Structure 1
Amino acid sequence: MPNHTRPSSGERARQHALGRLRQAILRGEMAPAQRLVENELAERYGVTRASVRAALIDLESQGLVERVRNRGSRVRVVGVEEAVSLTECRLVLEGLCAARAAAAVDDEQAAELADLGAAMRRTVADGDPLAYAELAHRLHHRIRELSGQFTAMELLERLDAQLVRQLLRLAFRPGRTRRSLDEHLAVIKAVTARDPQAAEAAVRAHLTSVIEALRAG
């Protein structure tokens, strides 16, 4: 019986390969500097080499893949200094989004953010850094949505993709989630208090802390 969910060629095949490859990289299933062999990937995802090649070009434009002369494609390595630079850009854009969200948030949305904060507390109490990292990402994403600043959202999604492995590594550092929790709760408090200046300051303080942690190694 033909597999209609995995077309072997065409635009749907490219999108299928792109989605699977992107998730594999973001989840750490493919390590930094790992070679991405088109034939192997085409067989794994049930698509043509051309579909894989097109997906790799897209991932290169997103900063997740790089082409090495005479060696093909590999998962791009993001070093500490580049991670710091990317986070400095996040700091400005996230601050803007937090300020806009604080000016726009309604009671139902404020309660949703408070619930996220409570869930983050539980993951820290349970000693589950992976679940904490996922909730922290959800919080940042939700604040961006509430801001209505769609240009900033698009730019931040690109930065997020390049930083995800570094941030996961930080989440597993002893004591880091506790400090991060306090910082995120401060962001929630400022946004739900509808204080744009405090919300922007809280996000900047959090991401400054992330930069310090990245530099500490």
Structure 2
Amino acid sequence: MAAGTRSRTGASAAEVATRIREAIFAGELVPNQRLVEADLAEAYGASRGHVRTALGELTVEGLVERIQNRGARVRSVPLEEALEIVEVRAAVEALCAARAAERVTDEQAERLRGIGRRMEDAVREGDQAAYAQGNKDLHGAVIGLADQRTAAATIDRLRAQAVRFQYRLSARPGRSQTSLPEHLAIIEAVCARDPEAAARAMREHLASVARAIAESARD
């Protein structure tokens, strides 16, 4: 049976892979956590065969690793690899920012500025959850405007692999105050329809993310 085909008795392998992937993105499944096929089959209402296929797909994506004679677990990314991931993200997201600046409409520009205002409000009110959502919304909006599906899929995989560093960074005191002007610079460059400035602002922001991750690891 194909991975994307639903069985008569439960979730397809593709659906199981999506749910595990989302749980990793959300931090519900943490690095080094064991992924027991029988438990996942029961939790997701799927056959063990579909769970096995889903874990194989996620292994290819770099989210899961298989340990000989011990089954599968959520892959833990070391600091050095996390920094490499941010470097690659910077290159890909800079491309997306440049494309967004070329394509943005007046209505879309106002939406981006609205996200920026919400992020400013969140920093002023000390609402970390709202700021994190604004961060997610902004990056997602820029990637969406770029209309680069391959880039979007690549960024999703890269961000998921380094998710524990992102959570650690989001909780770092003062980080939102540092990153807010970086995000606002991205917004203004895209809205000004300046591809070079948009790409530069995105690269500078993600270089700042890499430095903060390294500092957090040292602390």
Normalising by structure 2, report the TM-score.
0.91
Give the Cα–Cα distance (whole angstroms) in 2 for the partners of residues 170 and 136 of structure 1.
13
C-alpha distance after superposition, 1:13-54 (max 9, x if no partner): 223322221122111111210110101111111211111111
Give the Cα–Cα distance (whole angstroms) in 2 for the partners of residues 154 and 35 of structure 1.
25
Give the Cα–Cα distance (whole angstroms) in 1 for the partners of residues 45 and 94 of structure 2.
42
- Is 2:23 aligned against 1:30? no
Quote the offset at 1:6 in angstroms.
9.4
Aligned CA-pair RMSD: 1.7
1:15 alignment partner in structure 2: 14
Give the Cα–Cα distance (whole angstroms) in 1 for the partners of residues 85 and 208 of structure 2.
14
2:174 alignment partner in structure 1: 175
Quote the offset at 1:7 in angstroms.
5.6
Give the Cα–Cα distance (whole angstroms) in 2 for the partners of residues 166 and 112 of structure 1.
28
- Is 2:194 aligned against 1:199? no
Equivalence map 1:1-217=2 (5 Å): 8-9=9-10, 12-216=11-215, 217=217
Q: Is the 8 A contact 1:6 1:16 kept in 2?
A: no
Quote the offset at 1:195 in angstroms.
1.0
Give the Cα–Cα distance (whole angstroms) in 2 for the partners of residues 162 and 119 of structure 1.
28
Quote the offset at 1:151 in angstroms.
2.3
Quote the offset at 1:79 in angstroms.
1.6
Gaps of 5+ in 2: 1-5
Quote the offset at 1:164 in angstroms.
2.4
Alpha carbons of 1:130 and 1:164: their partners in 2 closer, same or farther (altered >3 Å)?
farther
What's the % identity of the aligned pairs?
Answer: 48
Q: How many residues are matched?
A: 211
SS class of match (1:118)? helix
Q: Is the 8 A contact 2:24 2:160 kept in 1?
A: no
Give the Cα–Cα distance (whole angstroms) in 2 for the partners of residues 88 and 21 of structure 1.
26
C-alpha distance after superposition, 1:73-124 (max 9, x if no partner): 0000012111100000011111111111111111001001001111111222
Give the Cα–Cα distance (whole angstroms) in 1 for the partners of residues 7 and 112 of structure 2.
37
One-letter amino acid of the structure 2 residue matched with residue 181 of structure 1: L
Gaps of 5+ in 1: none
Normalising by structure 1, report the TM-score.
0.91
SS class of match (1:53)? helix
Farther off after superposition, 129-138 or 75-84: 129-138
Q: Is the 8 A contact 1:28 1:165 kept in 2?
A: yes
One-letter amino acid of the structure 2 residue matched with residue 8 of structure 1: T
